[in-house]
Amino acid sequence: MILSLAISKIKSKGYKITKPREAILKILISSKNKMLSADGILKETQIICANINITTIYRNLEILENIGVIHKVVSSKGISLFKLLCNEFHHHHLICNYCGKVESIDFCPIEYYKKISADKDFYLTDHKLELYGFCKNCINSKKNIF
Amino acid sequence: MILSLAISKIKSKGYKITKPREAILKILISSKNKMLSADGILKETQIICANINITTIYRNLEILENIGVIHKVVSSKGISLFKLLCNEFHHHHLICNYCGKVESIDFCPIEYYKKISADKDFYLTDHKLELYGFCKNCINSKKNIF
DNA sequence: TTCTTATTGCAAAAGATTTGCATTTAAAAT
DNA sequence: ATTTTAAATGCAAATCTTTTGCAATAAGAA
């Protein structure tokens, strides 16, 4: 997603374009293939928007998630991580354990699981599927990965 | 997993069998197909172990996770949920958003993803796949689910 | 430029989880 | 059975992330 699209999404929902909001967007865009915490976003935005407050970060992240500009996952330590939505169809992510690089993978087995769930009288609403591994770069670098 | 196996795992790692620890185990075993929060476990164990403290719950859950007796997931609200490890082959879980009921699902698409990942020069090491929805009981109860 | 309302910053609250420390207890040693 | 000792516990307080209340500010319409 690019800035102009994000901004038009925001405007179309009746939200204003403020300096803090734009700073947050810019940071999200410049880290589009990396998950960021609220605190990480705060620190990055402070560079381009001096007085921004963590409250503003959270309030904007909530709005941006609701209007479909960003995507949130909760890490295994319970911390919320955010990243700009890719501008594609539903897909999943392959995340490098070492450098955090994210690759998209289109295949999703959800239809199969919907069937299985229905057989078990479960109504499926949601799923979490994340793949972890090491990217070529990190395998090739002689770093202490394994 | 049954109590005796869990206890022998605990002993084999040099941990003691205390009353609070045993109470926690019993609760986990009696709710083996349900995800429980630390607070939920506290409330249940208080019935059979009056003075137990939330600190003790957390400390024991950490140990039990480390020695492979329980399994932890983090909900989308960032709350840690726990359940006894099933004693079976690799599988995934279908979790009721409302009551926490868990069903096991044997199908796992990992082989397929391994192939896709290799094509992208990614070496897959791990994956997280959780399915969320509502169980029959919770749909039928007229509670405010949706 | 003025007006209206959303947005912001700050401080404080809330909720989950962790830590420090003195006391208690399991289980090994005697 | 008693003593010993290290682990485990309970309590209070701290920490960390996230949320809320409120007065001040700023965006964008009039």
**Greater pLDDT, A72 or B87:** A72
pLDDT of residue A63: 98
Q: Is the pLDDT of residue B145 over 50?
A: no
Q: Is the pLDDT of residue A100 over 80?
A: no
pTM for the complete prediction? 0.88
Strand C atom within 7 Å of B8 CB: no
pLDDT above 60 (res B144): no
Work out the mean pLDDT of chain A and round it to a whole number.
91
The answer to whether residue B63 scores a pLDDT higher than 80 is yes
Among the listed residues A112, A93, A86, the one whose alpha carbon sits nearest the alpha carbon of residue A2:
A86
High-pLDDT (> 70) share of chain B, %? 97
> Can you give the pLDDT at residue A43?
97
Cβ neighbours of A75 in B, within 8 Å: 74
Q: Does the pLDDT value for residue A134 go beyond 80?
A: yes
Q: Looking at strand C, which nucleotides approach a protein CB closer than 7 A?
A: 6-12, 16-20, 25-27
pLDDT of amino acid A79: 93
DSSP-based three-state secondary structure for A98: coil
Average pLDDT score over residue span B102-124: 93
pLDDT above 80 (res A96): yes
For residue A128, the chain B residues in CB contact (below 8 A) are 128-130, 132
The two three-digit tokens of residue B99, written as one number: 């009551």
- The answer to whether A41 and A57 are in contact (CB under 8 A) is yes
pLDDT score recorded for residue B143 = 55
Backbone dihedral region for residue B14 (phi beyond 0: left; psi -120 to 50: alpha; all else: beta):
left
pLDDT at A87: 72
**A49-53, A75-79, A113-117: which range is least confident on average?**
A75-79
Three-class secondary structure of residue A57 per DSSP: helix
The per-residue DSSP string of B87-99 comes to: SSSS-EEEEETTT
